[in-house]
């Protein structure tokens, strides 16, 4: 499993790439996980791991959507992580258009709301 996120393995075997980032409850707005590629559409496999349970806890938990430029909820709607427990993992996949960024968009937690995730993506050029 360790090699799943190894960029050298992707580049040599699949001619692809991998990216990952951690997003705490204070994250707000659209975050670019992977930049657009002007030449080729890409297939993506996205793994979302919950590092801190999503809960209102007297406030409001963060809201997260995952998508691409202009279609920010293409891969995950705003209900995916509502109430998600620590350790929960979600696997998402689809085609990321060439001229689009892969985005993780947050509405930050309010006051004592909780929720933190790690998002990893394997990105492969569409061929054939």
Residue 9 buriedness (CB in 10 A; 0-12 / 13-18 / 19+): middle
For residues 24 and 128, give the distance between their C-alpha atoms in angstroms, rounded to a whole number.
39
pLDDT value of position 14? 54
Predicted confidence (pLDDT) per residue in 63-83, tens digit? 999 999 999 999 999 999 999
Domains of the chain by range and CATH?
2-125 (2.60.120)
Predicted confidence (pLDDT) per residue in 44-61, tens digit? 999 999 999 999 999 999
For residues 32 and 30, give the distance between their C-alpha atoms in angstroms, rounded to a whole number.
7
pLDDT over threshold 70, residue 6: no
pLDDT value of position 43? 94
């Amino acid at each position: 499993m360790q090699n799943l996120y190894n960029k050298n393995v992707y580049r040599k075997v699949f001619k692809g790439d991998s990216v990952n980032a951690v997003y705490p409850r204070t994250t707000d707005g659209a975050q670019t996980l992977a930049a657009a590629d002007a030449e080729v559409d890409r297939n993506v496999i996205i793994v979302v791991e919950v590092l801190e349970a999503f809960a209102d806890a007297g406030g409001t938990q963060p809201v997260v959507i995952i998508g691409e430029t202009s279609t920010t909820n293409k891969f995950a709607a705003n209900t995916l992580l509502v109430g998600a427990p620590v350790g929960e993992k979600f696997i998402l996949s689809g085609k990321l258009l060439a001229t689009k960024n892969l985005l993780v968009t947050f509405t930050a937690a309010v006051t004592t709301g909780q929720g933190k995730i790690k998002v990893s993506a394997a990105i492969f050029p569409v061929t054939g």
